[in-house]
Amino acid sequence: MKETFWQKEEFQKLGKEKIAILQELAEKAKHKEPMELLELLPIYSKKLSGGNPIAPAEREALLAAMEQSLDNQERQRFQKAVQMLKMMGKL
């Protein structure tokens, strides 16, 4: 049996509370443009980390949850926007 996106080990390590936050984000991210998604990042980063600096594993889980809700074309645009932010040191 193939594991679902949410059953992957990297998510399970985060715990049920954080998985619920990521699932909420994935639901809110549906049908949003990449720039709208990027506006959700600081909100959900704060929720996920409890207001502390977000850990790299949490940041990657956050981005993966956002990508989960996108179709292929939207996912490619989102990934480009994320790469630009990383190059600028803003992510």
Look at residues 87, 5, 83 and name the one whose alpha carbon lies nearest to residue 38: 83
Number of domains in the chain: 1
Can you give the residue range of the structural domain that contains 33? 5-87
Contact 70, 26 (CB under 8 A): no
Write down the pLDDT at residue 20: 92
User: Token digits for 13?
Assistant: 């390590």
Contact between residue 75 and residue 63 where contact means Cβ atoms under 8 Å apart? no
- pLDDT tens profile 14-71: 889 988 998 898 888 888 887 888 888 889 989 988 888 888 888 888 888 888 878 8
Could you give the CA distance from residue 21 to residue 36 in angstroms, rounded to a whole number?
18
With 60 as the cut, is the pLDDT of residue 1 above it? no
